[in-house]
Amino acid sequence: MIRQIDAVSHHNRLRPLPPALLCGFGALLGLGAYLSHPAVRLLILIWAAVWTIGYAGVPARLYMLMTGAACLFFAAGLPAIIVEIGSAAAEEKAEHFRLFHIYGRSIYLTSSGIQTAWEAFTRMLACLASSYMVILTVPVPELLAALKKLRVPSVVLDLIMIMYRFIFILWLEAADMKTAQQARGGHNGLKGRLNDTAMLAVHLFTSSMRRYHMLHQGLTARGYDGHIPLPSLRMGAIPGRYKLEIIGGVAVLLLLEITIRLEVWP
């Protein structure tokens, strides 16, 4: 999936647009997703998905797979938000939906917990959509160039660049090691999978350290002085339809958010 994300970010229909526009627009939508009400967040989610899938041409299957993976992590922490365990007296004081009663204790869902979970879920989806619009349409070198323009410290950019490089190296190393283990009859049964996965992790750490030393020697041989040069930020004209849509869409979202706040807090 990592290689597919990188390939899509380099080959999509929004590549002619300036990276600063996509990064700024994504950051603006992310800020709005964090601060707005659930109804506005859902509109941000749809708008960002239209830009990513519709305008950029990102495969819907990849987009849904990435979103689904994030939702699994959210679902893992959901019981801690909506499920409560208490006595019958505590249960009576709260608006709840009882699941079952055992050993004098009730396990129930609270209405406040469900409301909190819904707000967190909409915020997560909207923020993810805003992030995906940048991740899937702007290549990492251009993203780093935009961050450099925003005065992000060079040491942070160098670390991001090195980590970005090592992601692909470690991914290929892990895939090759797993293939070699399977060719020797490994990953057979649950116990075998656990043992082989532990061995793979140990060998992967050793291999990554060896690769790190090779990278350090290569950078030193090329005159590395503590700073990795980045490409200059690509500029360009913004098509009128995109400019009009961004201005109009942001104005509509702001108007809707103000209307909701006035109705909720008169």
**101 backbone dihedrals φ, ψ, rounded to 5°:** -120, 130
Of 180, 174, 186, 69, the residue nearest 128 (C-alpha): 69
195: closest CA among 231, 203, 241? Answer: 203
Backbone angles phi, psi at 104, to 5 degrees: 75, 5
Per-residue confidence (pLDDT) for residue 99, from 0 to 100: 60
Q: What is the pLDDT of residue 88?
A: 55
The answer to whether the beta carbons of residues 42 and 126 sit under 8 Å apart is: yes
- Chain segment 16-34, per-residue pLDDT in tens: 888 888 888 999 999 999 9
Burial class of residue 140 (count of CB atoms within 10 Å of its CB; 0-12, 13-18, 19+): middle
Domain segments of the chain as ranges: 1-79+114-138+237-266, 140-235
- pLDDT (tens digit per residue) in 179-196: 877 777 776 777 777 777
The candidate with the shortest Cα–Cα distance to 218, out of 150, 162, 157, 262, is: 162
Out of 83-97, 135-149, 150-164, least confident range: 83-97
Of 76-85, 132-141, 229-238, the least confident = 229-238
Q: Mark out the alpha helices in 83-188 (DSSP H runs).
A: 88-93, 111-135, 140-149, 154-183
Q: Say how far apart CA 10 and CA 151 lie, in whole Å.
A: 24
Q: Report the predicted TM-score, pTM, of the whole model to 2 decimal places.
A: 0.76
* Interval 206-218 mean pLDDT: 77
